Amino acid sequence: MLINRAINLSEPGYDIRPVIPDSMVRRYTDRIISLLDQKAEIERRTYGFEYELLPTRPLDLDDMEMLYRFFSQSGFDKSGTSFIYSNGLSVAFEPGGQIEYQSPPLFDDDYNTFNRILNSMERINRNIYNELDIKYKGTDYFPGRDKAPLCLTSKRYRDMHERMLTCGTRGREMMKGTASIHLHVSINSSEEVAQYFPLLLRLASDKDFRMGEKRRDIWDKTDPSRCGMPYNKSAAAGPEPVIGDIVRFALLADDISNSMPFYLKEDISFEIFLYHMTTLFTDIRLNMKGPTLELRTLDSMPFDQFRPKWVKFISALNPHYQDKWREEMK
Q: What is the pLDDT of residue 234?
A: 56
Span 210-228, mean pLDDT?
91
Q: What is the pLDDT of residue 231?
A: 63
Span 33-56, mean pLDDT?
89
Span 154-160, mean pLDDT?
92
Q: 229-246: per-residue pLDDT in tens?
A: 656 655 557 899 899 989
Instruction: Round to whole Å and give the CA distance between 127 and 326.
Output: 30
Q: Which residue has the higher pLDDT, 144 or 231?
A: 144
Which long-range CB contacts under 8 A does 267-270 form with residues at least 24 apart?
A: 270/28, 270/31
Q: What is the pLDDT of residue 27?
A: 94
Q: What is the pLDDT of residue 82?
A: 94
Neighbours of 134 (CB within 10 A): 19
Share of the chain above pLDDT 90, in %: 70
pLDDT band at 226 (very low <50, low <70, confident <90, very high): confident
- Residue 7 above 90 pLDDT? no
- Residue 3 above 60 pLDDT? no
- Residue 228 above 80 pLDDT? no
- Residue 327 above 70 pLDDT? no
Q: 254-265: per-residue pLDDT in tens?
A: 998 888 899 998
pLDDT band at 104 (very low <50, low <70, confident <90, very high): very high
Quick one: 70 exposed, middle or buried, by C-beta within 10 A (0-12, 13-18, 19+)? middle
Q: Which helix (H) or strand (E) holds 51?
A: strand 47-55
Span 43-61, mean pLDDT?
95
Span 123-139, mean pLDDT?
98
Report yes or no on whether pTM surpasses 0.75: yes
Supply angle C-alpha 316, 278, 253, rounded to 5: 105
Q: 264-312: per-residue pLDDT in tens?
A: 988 789 999 999 999 998 999 999 988 999 999 999 999 999 999 999 9
Span 50-65, mean pLDDT?
98
- Residue 10 above 90 pLDDT? no
91 and 53 Cβ atoms separated by less than 8 Å = no
- Residue 14 above 60 pLDDT? no
Instruction: Round to whole Å and give the CA distance between 245 and 285.
Output: 12
Q: What is the pLDDT of residue 166?
A: 87
For the chain, domains (ranges, CATH) are: 45-225+283-323 (3.30.590.20)
Handedness of CA 263, 265, 267, 273 (dihedral sign): negative
Instruction: Round to whole Å and give the CA distance between 257 and 156.
Output: 8
